[in-house]
Amino acid sequence: MNAIRIALATALLCTSSISIAASDYPGQADTSHHMTVNYHYAKLKNVSDIDLSATSFTYGYQMQNKGGKFSFTPEFSFGYGVKGIEQPGVDIVVDEIAQAGIRLAYHPFSNFYVFIKPTVTKVRLSSDENSIDALGMKESYSETSGAIGVGFNFAEHYSLGLSSEKVGYFNVVTGSFRYRF
């Protein structure tokens, strides 16, 4: 929990500092707010038939210098499980997921970008009495990880993204729909 608090405080401080600095130099930085809907597909590492899915909502504030190819976006996400594991002897569902990250993107073209995103993620699982213990997992954990992904801007204010990361016990693939304003 302390790691999440530190990450959130750092991201807020960085966002505030850069936003204030950008306002001192009008016309030199493009900034935008982002609202994103994400679908996460999580596969348990080293086990072929155990997977979970969740959906989350993300708010981000992007800063990019005018004419520049790089952007910086602190992001905060919160979501819930959509599909759990329901097999004989195993019943696990994602109760909630919270994530703070900083997306660093390279924009080689106006409609395409690649990014890395260091993150701190908090996951809370719920299960029957023995499922989590049988799989050697914890009900709640925080994890520092990093995502790598690509995005495509298909309209002035809309984009689609795909990313991959390892969070705790899971390999996670995320599809995103983003609105910029």
Share of the chain above pLDDT 70, in %: 70
Instruction: Pick the closest to residue 164 from 122, 115, 120 (CA basis).
Output: 115
What's the pLDDT tens digit per position in 110-154?
Answer: 899 999 999 998 888 776 655 555 555 666 778 888 899 999 999
pLDDT of 45: 73
Sequence-ordered list of residues with C-beta below 8 angstroms from that of 45, at least 6 positions apart, any chain: 166, 169, 170, 171
For residues 9 and 19, give the distance between their C-alpha atoms in angstroms, rounded to a whole number.
15
Looking at the 3D structure of the chain, how many domains does it have? Answer: 1
Task: Give the residue with greater pLDDT, 170 vs 59.
Answer: 59
Q: pLDDT at residue 177 above 90?
A: yes
pLDDT category of residue 78 using cuts at 50, 70 and 90:
very high
What's the pLDDT tens digit per position in 38-58?
Answer: 999 988 776 666 678 899 999
Mean pLDDT of 158-166: 95
pLDDT of 111: 92
CATH, residue 100 = 2.40.160.20
Q: Print the domain residue range for 110.
A: 2-180
